[in-house]
Amino acid sequence: MKLYGALMALSLIWGLSFVFIEVLIPVAGVWGTVFLRCMAGAAVLLPLFLYRWWKGKRPAVLPWKRLIVVGLFNAGLPWGLIALSQTSLTSNMAAVLNASTPILTGVAGFLLFSVRLHWRQWGGIMIGFAGIILLTGFRPGEITGERFIGVGTMLLAASCYGFVSHFTKRYLQGTDVVLLALAGLLVGAASGALGMFWLDPASWGNVIDLDLQSILAVIGLGCLGSGSAHLLYYYMINQAGAEFASMVTYLVPVTALIWGRVLLGEAVTPNLIYGLLTIFAGVYLSTKRKGHSQQLPSVKAG
């Protein structure tokens, strides 16, 4: 029962993350949102990391170059792209597109890491992309519109997650998960700070002087969604296995639809539902393995 409670709590937290992003963007800007969520997440994980370090759980070698790559592609770049996407898309649509991450993980593995895919996985990938087209209400005359730019940046963010999933498995296998998460958040915070410095210097003033609603959004997005939620996710992997933890892939978009409707009044359109169900079918097929074993799909929140 505890595990199912953890699963539901995680899906609610990660589904709500898209609403928090929607709240923060007008105040902090795209890169200010990245900076704030990373710093808040790091504030949660840093005491745990220092405690483990004090207890002697220290890496023999610190692979800092690879940790920078993970931070850039697991936090800094994708979270900036997601925030940029949500300047033109609703939070629930962004969440549904984010559900394509396991599909794009398969594509990244094939293109960049020589991962072999069998016919069932290719079929799932094709179905998943059909779901994306259905979700967006694809019309050729609107391909250059702001809506499709938002879709493109969201899919690029999901592709970053796909790349970093394979990169971590190949080059950082066995690395302490707290170190991985904390290093990623610190690199992400640095990315957000550089983004503000180069692209939106005026946002620094807003980041320093937040109103109460924005502070609550930072706590929810950073401390919960980017800090505590990752510990909850790895707890489920350790206690029940990767297959059980991967069920959150299917729950996060659903909770995001509910949160977006209840808190932001966003419409739940037929295209959104049909696209979500089609993407789910693609995710199931593209991550299914022969026999009873199943590789854990890359699961990320917004």
* Mean pLDDT, rounded, for 263-273: 88
- Choose among 150, 177, 141, 50: nearest CA to 94: 150
Identify the three-state secondary structure at position 58. Answer: coil
In terms of phi and psi (left: phi > 0; alpha: psi -120 to 50; beta: otherwise), the region of 65 is alpha
Q: Write out the two tokens for 121.
A: 């996985």
Tell me, what's the pLDDT at 295? Answer: 47
Alpha carbon distances (Å) from 32 to 71, 94, 163, 187, 258: 17, 19, 24, 14, 26
The fraction of the chain above a pLDDT of 90, given in percent, is 38
72 or 286, higher pLDDT: 72
* Interval 188-215 mean pLDDT: 89
Q: Above 80 in pLDDT, residue 155?
A: yes
Residues near 195 by beta carbon (within 8 Å), at least 6 away in sequence: 30, 31, 34, 35, 80
Q: How far apart are CA 239 and CA 107, in angstroms?
A: 29
Closest CA to 92 of 135, 124, 127: 135
pLDDT for residue 290: 55
pTM: 0.88
Mean pLDDT, all residues of the chain: 85
Residue with tokens 């609550």: 216
Overall average pLDDT of the 229-234 stretch: 82
**pLDDT score recorded for residue 77:** 96
Torsion over CA: 184, 190, 194, 195 (sign): positive
All residues at 6 or more sequence positions from 82 whose CB lies less than 8 Å from its CB, including other chains: 21, 94, 98, 153, 154, 157, 302
pLDDT confidence bin for 142, thresholds 50/70/90 = very low
pLDDT at 106: 86
**Residue 83 confidence (pLDDT) above 60:** yes
Residue 240, SS3 per DSSP: helix
Tell me the pLDDT band of 115, cut-offs 50, 70 and 90.
confident
d(C-alpha 81, C-alpha 3), whole Å = 32
Share of the chain above pLDDT 70, in %: 90
pLDDT the model gives residue 147: 72
Closest-CA residue to 297 (of 144, 103, 141, 102) = 102
Question: Is residue 112 within 8 Å of 166, Cβ to Cβ?
Answer: yes
**Sign of the four-CA dihedral 18, 229, 204, 186:** negative
Mean pLDDT, rounded, for 29-44: 94
**pLDDT, tens only, 38-61:** 999 999 999 999 998 888 877 778
Among 71, 65, 66, CA closest to 34: 71
Tallying the residues shown for the chain, one arrives at 302
The amino acid that residue 278 corresponds to is T
Is residue 196 pLDDT above 80, yes or no?
Answer: yes
Give Cα 212 distance to the centre of its chain: 25
**Cα-based angle 91, 96, 97 (whole degrees, multiple of 5):** 95
Ramachandran assignment for 59, one of left (phi > 0), alpha (psi -120 to 50 degrees), beta (any other): beta
**With contact defined as beta carbons under 8 Å apart, do 86 and 153 qualify?**
no
Confidence of residue 301 (pLDDT cuts 50, 70, 90): low
- Assign residue 61 a region (left: φ > 0; alpha: ψ between -120 and 50; beta: otherwise): beta
Quick check: 299 pLDDT over 60? no
Q: At residue 78, does pLDDT exceed 60?
A: yes
- Spell out where 75-198 has E strands: none
